[in-house]
């Protein structure tokens, strides 16, 4: 439902139409209702059913993490990714230890013995063919009652050691956890690292959530969309073939069609008005898609991380105001 505000600046969806389970009618026409935010090409892209419908070309975007997969996952694709296609991994693991039971062609009995996990098996001498990633379920800061989106964080964004407020995901979680703060208790800024060789985002805490915001986030973590976001592969969400073959993805969605009405009574032509200024982007930063740049490869170091229980939201204002000093230690 967030797409309404993403595509038409200033428009508001009536309260009686906001959020809720989609009808069989809508689901049947959509094909798949899974929604995700892609980082492809260093641009935040809104993907629905494998189709790019909007993008945010700002370097940063504020989100709140609703849920995270319990472990880093891994995925091996038989063919090198080609822009404009969608596919499922031939072999994948949801715990980075053994292939998932649904895998029809496992590459090995365990990930640590897999030839696709050998350094140099990827498309670069220092990369692996089977790549690490971490799945998140997120909300946009300005739409905490809106749609939950899946987001897949690549290896370089998980394991990197940043400076100051630009941290890798694991470093960021450890920093917050070390101060007794839950990751889902703060608004998180995702920012593209423009100096990285491949696609990489850094993490930074913007502000603590208000009590009502935090309670809402905790309540939403068990919604089907949040669970799907951290358990489904990108190929499953996009509706790619189960045999692992790559197929063309749908073309980017066109701009919304204008609303037509009955023809007005003819009148004398008026002087041509001055061109209206371009509309300001919606608060989320997403715009209707016109084109998409190419993706970039990412390295995968081998690291594990665990999930901590969720305590009540603490008062973290003082800690966040001293962020820079703590992060540099």
pLDDT of 275 strictly over 50: yes
* Nearest in space to 246 (alpha carbons), one of 258, 238, 254: 238
| Secondary element (H or E) of residue 232 | none
Which residues, including other chains, have CB under 8 Å from residue 198's CB and lie 6 or more apart? 154, 156, 296, 297, 298, 299
**Residues 176-208: pLDDT tens digits?**
999 999 999 999 999 999 988 889 999 999 999
Report the DSSP pairing between strands 73-76 and 130-140: antiparallel
| Whether the Cβ atoms of residue 76 and residue 116 lie closer than 8 Å to each other | yes
| Secondary element (H or E) of residue 70 | none
DSSP-assigned letters across all residues of 164-182: TTBB-HHHHHHHHHHTT--
Mean per-residue pLDDT for 5-9? 38
Most confident range, picked from 15-19, 96-100, 307-311: 96-100
Q: What is the pLDDT of residue 295?
A: 46
pLDDT of 52 strictly over 80: yes
**Residues 75-129: pLDDT tens digits?**
898 877 666 676 788 898 999 999 999 888 899 999 999 999 888 887 777 788 8
Specify which residues 287 forms β-bridges with. Answer: 55
pTM of the model: 0.67
| Whether the Cβ atoms of residue 187 and residue 64 lie closer than 8 Å to each other | yes
Strands (E), the chain: 35-38, 44-48, 51-56, 60-68, 73-76, 85-86, 91-93, 130-140, 149-154, 186-192, 201-208, 247-248, 287-288
| Whether the Cβ atoms of residue 137 and residue 149 lie closer than 8 Å to each other | yes
Query: What are the structure tokens assigned to 326, written together?
Result: 């703590």
Query: What are the structure tokens assigned to 274, written together?
Result: 């001055």
Q: What is the pLDDT of residue 162?
A: 86
Q: What is the pLDDT of residue 126?
A: 76
Q: How much of the chain, in percent, has pLDDT values that exceed 70?
A: 61
pLDDT of 262 strictly over 50: no
Q: What is the pLDDT of residue 27?
A: 52
pLDDT of 274 strictly over 80: no
């Amino acid at each position: 439902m967030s797409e309404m505000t993403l595509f038409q600046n200033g428009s508001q969806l009536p309260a009686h139409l906001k959020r809720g389970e989609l009808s069989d009618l809508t689901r049947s026409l959509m094909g798949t209702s899974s929604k995700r935010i892609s980082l492809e090409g260093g641009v935040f892209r809104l993907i629905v059913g494998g189709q790019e419908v909007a993008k945010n070309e700002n370097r940063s975007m504020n989100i709140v993490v609703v849920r995270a997969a319990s472990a880093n996952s891994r995925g091996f694709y038989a063919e090198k990714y080609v822009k404009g296609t969608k596919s499922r991994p031939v072999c994948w693991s949801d715990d980075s230890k053994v292939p998932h039971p649904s895998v029809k062609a496992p590459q090995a009995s365990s990930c640590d013995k897999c030839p696709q996990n050998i350094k140099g098996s990827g498309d670069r001498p220092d990369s692996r063919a089977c790549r690490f990633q971490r799945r998140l379920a997120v909300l946009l800061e300005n739409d905490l009652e809106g749609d939950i989106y899946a987001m897949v964080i690549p290896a370089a964004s998980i394991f990197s050691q940043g400076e100051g407020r630009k941290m890798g995901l694991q470093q960021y979680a450890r920093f917050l956890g070390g101060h007794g703060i839950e990751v889902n208790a703060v608004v998180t800024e995702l920012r593209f690292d423009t100096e990285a060789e491949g696609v990489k985002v850094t993490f930074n805490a913007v502000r603590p959530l208000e009590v009502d915001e935090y309670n809402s986030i905790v309540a939403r973590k068990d919604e089907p969309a949040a669970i799907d976001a951290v358990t489904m592969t990108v190929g499953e969400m996009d509706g790619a073939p189960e045999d692992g073959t790559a197929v063309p993805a749908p073309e980017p969605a066109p701009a919304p069609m204008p609303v037509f009405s009955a023809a007005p009574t003819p009148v004398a032509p008026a002087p041509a008005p001055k061109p209206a200024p371009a509309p300001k982007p919606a608060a989320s930063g997403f715009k209707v898609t016109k084109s998409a740049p190419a993706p970039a490869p990412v390295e995968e170091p081998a690291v594990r991380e665990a999930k901590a229980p969720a305590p009540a939201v603490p008062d973290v204002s003082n800690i966040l105001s001293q962020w820079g000093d703590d992060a540099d230690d």
